[in-house]
Every structure is written in C-alpha cells, then in structure tokens.
Amino acid sequence: MGSLIYTNNLVGRLKQEERKNIELWAEATRLLSLSDTSQNVEFLFSIIANNNTIPVILTDESDSIISSGNFDPERRNNSRFLRKNLNKIKEKNDPIKIDFGDGHFNLIYYKDSIILTMLIFYPYVQLAIILLFILVSYLAFSSSRKAEQNQVWVGMSKETAHQLGTPTSSLAGWIEILQQKYPEISITRELAIDVQRLEKVTERFSRIGSKPALTNENLISIVSRTIEYLKSRTSSKVRFISDYNSEQEVIVPVNSALFEWVLENVFKNAIDSMEGSGEITIRILESDKNAVIDISDTGKGIPKSAFNKIFNPGYTTKQRGWGLGLSLAKRIIEEYHKGRIFVTNSEVGKGSCLRIVMNKEKI
C-alpha cells in the first residue's frame, strides 16, 4: 500500500515535469516560426531535438495532423495509426497551444512516455507478484496440511484395524464353538452375523490409505443390502422407504465394502437426527454418466450455514459424538470413487436431504 501511494505521488510529479518539457518544446517551436534571426536558432533546435521520449502529435487549427514524434518508426507515417492515437490522447491530456499571434495557432497533443507508463503499472505488477506469492504459499501450506491429515487418517485406520483384528478373530472362534455345542440356540446366528460385520469393519479400516479396487456392481443391491442389515438393528419406529425399483440394475464402479460404510454412516446420522423415530426415504436415479442417491430424513434438519461444516472432521452436534462419520464418508466418495456428497436441502425442524453422486464411468 505504501509503495502504491509513493509511486502515485512520483507519477504525478513526473507528469508535471513532462508537461513542462512539452510546453518548452512548444515555445521553441513558436520561436523558430518567427522570422527574427536574433533568436539563438541552434539552442531552439536542441530543445526540440532533446524530446525523444514523449510521444507528440502536432495539429493545425482545423485538427489536421502536421507532424508527429516518438512513435513507432514503421507506423509514424500511417495516418490512420496517428489519428487513432490522437483520439486516445485527447481523452487523457489537454493540448498545449502554440499561438503565432496572427490568428493562427497549432496544438501539441502528447501522451505519457513509456517510462512513465511502466511506472504507473509498476505497483500493480508488484501487488500481483505479492498476491501470487501468497497464493502459492497458501497452496503449499494447504497441500502440506492435507498430506499430514492423510497420514493421521491412515495411521489411525491401520491401528484401529490392528486393534480390532485380534478380539474379532477370538469372538469368531468362540461363536463357532457355541454353534457346535448348542446348535439349537438361534441367537448365535445373529452373533455370527455381527462378528462378520466386525470383520468387515476391520477390513474397511485396513483399506483406508491404500487404493481400493473398484468393480462394476449393482448400486441398488448394495443399498438394499445395507438397509436390510440396519432394519433389524434399528428401532421399529424408524421406517425405511425405498423409493426405487429393486429389480432395476444401476451399475457403477465401486468398492462395496467402503461404499456400504458410507451408507451406514449416512443412515445412522439420519437415525440420530430423528432421535429414533421417523422416516428415511431413499431414491436412486441415473443418467448416462452418473448415478444419484438421495437420502431424506424427517429429523431435526441442518442450518444452511452448516451444510459444508457437517463434513469437517470433529464437527458434531451430539454430546458424545466424534464427528468422523460424514467426514470419512466424504473422503471415501470423493477421493476413492471421484464422486460427490453434499446436502441438497434442509429445513430446521422438518428434515434434510443428502445426495451422493457416483460416476458410472470406470475411474
């Protein structure tokens, strides 16, 4: 800012100096036109010749161009070029009049010298360089911070998978013993399903940080399978409404283990928002390039100011929440599947709609 003010002051002073030089040039031209030989002609010629930086155009009283100076040598004899420059100069600087005293006069039009023009733009170039430096620094910092976050995510995920692995394997062994010893107890089947689910969760955590394999699968089958799993583990007051054709096939490249994790996180957030009672509506649409899943609930809703915040790590409205579910969902959808997940609409006290957009083309 200080540089801009200083440069503007300097430009103003140089403009005044250039105008004085042109006024001197005009006076020398006037004196040369006089027939009085007592004038120091050589001195006057030197004044005129010394102006080699300020572009000038000399016109008569009828606005016809008489001569010009300090323009492009290859174009200074081009009348259209000179006329175009004359019109531009008239908008910027007032002409200097050369009065010959007999009712005749000439006008000198001039524009800023190249050095002065460069000086005018210098602070803006300087400011642009500073802004570019700030932008590059910010991008470098953001990239570094993102890389650090990725390392934290990967480290936590691998450690979680490791910690879950041993007790899950032990539970699977004990359930197998119970099934062999007490085959008539039906609850062991449900326990086995939950242990399989724990194994799947362990597998999911182990895949965070590595590039997951995507295979073409039916999106509707994955959604339906996830809904069926949650129905038996959710309050009967929560109603799932599948607003799509379950016989239809919507094929997308997907990692089913990670995508089921996304759906579970979204559904569980919806259930928490409804406080265990309400409706969750699932719609599945497709176009030539994308498949779209809309998940609506009748919960508390999300303020518009929090539409993006809900995907930030650590953001939660629950007393004991971690704020990682939707953040993890966003990471899986956007980084691993190159899709999008966002809130389409929400009304506080009435509910929300969250949309997942998946690419149908192979990544």
Which among 256, 186, 187 has a CA at the least distance from the CA of 216? 256
At residue 37, the pLDDT reads 47
3-state SS assignment for residue 299: coil
Structural contact between residues 286 and 360, judged by C-beta atoms closer than 8 angstroms:
yes
Cα gap 293→285, rounded to integer Å: 7
Structural contact between residues 327 and 311, judged by C-beta atoms closer than 8 angstroms:
yes
Residues paired with residue 355 on neighbouring β-strands, in sequence order: 294, 342
Cα gap 111→12, rounded to integer Å: 14
3-state SS assignment for residue 308: coil
Cα gap 169→163, rounded to integer Å: 11
The Cβ of residue 300 has, within 10 Å, a number of other Cβ atoms equal to: 19
Report helix angle 256-273 to 219-231, nearest 10. 50
Cα gap 196→190, rounded to integer Å: 10
Structural contact between residues 294 and 282, judged by C-beta atoms closer than 8 angstroms:
yes
Cα gap 55→215, rounded to integer Å: 70
3-state SS assignment for residue 298: coil
Q: Which two tokens stand for residue 145?
A: 């911070």
Structural contact between residues 309 and 324, judged by C-beta atoms closer than 8 angstroms:
no
Structural contact between residues 110 and 22, judged by C-beta atoms closer than 8 angstroms:
yes
The Cβ of residue 88 has, within 10 Å, a number of other Cβ atoms equal to: 11
Residues paired with residue 68 on neighbouring β-strands, in sequence order: 57
Cα gap 54→203, rounded to integer Å: 76
Please state the pTM of the whole predicted model. 0.57
Cα gap 169→189, rounded to integer Å: 16
Q: pLDDT digit of tens for each residue in the chain (363 aa)?
A: 666 676 777 777 777 777 777 777 777 777 766 655 455 555 555 555 566 677 888 888 788 887 777 777 777 677 788 888 888 888 877 888 877 777 778 888 878 777 777 777 777 888 888 899 999 999 888 888 777 776 776 777 777 776 777 788 888 888 888 888 887 777 888 788 888 878 877 777 777 766 778 999 999 999 999 999 898 888 889 999 999 988 889 999 999 888 998 999 999 999 999 988 999 999 999 988 999 999 999 999 999 988 988 888 777 777 666 677 888 899 889 988 999 999 999 999 899 999 999 998 876
Domain 212-359, CATH 3.30.565.10 — does that match? yes
At residue 206, the pLDDT reads 72
Cα gap 42→74, rounded to integer Å: 29
Cα gap 54→52, rounded to integer Å: 6
Task: Give the pairing type, strands 278-286 and 251-254.
Answer: unpaired
Cα Rg of the chain (Å, integer)? 39
At residue 100, the pLDDT reads 75
Task: Give the pairing type, strands 238-243 and 278-286.
Answer: parallel
Backbone phi, psi, residue 292, to 5°: -125, 130
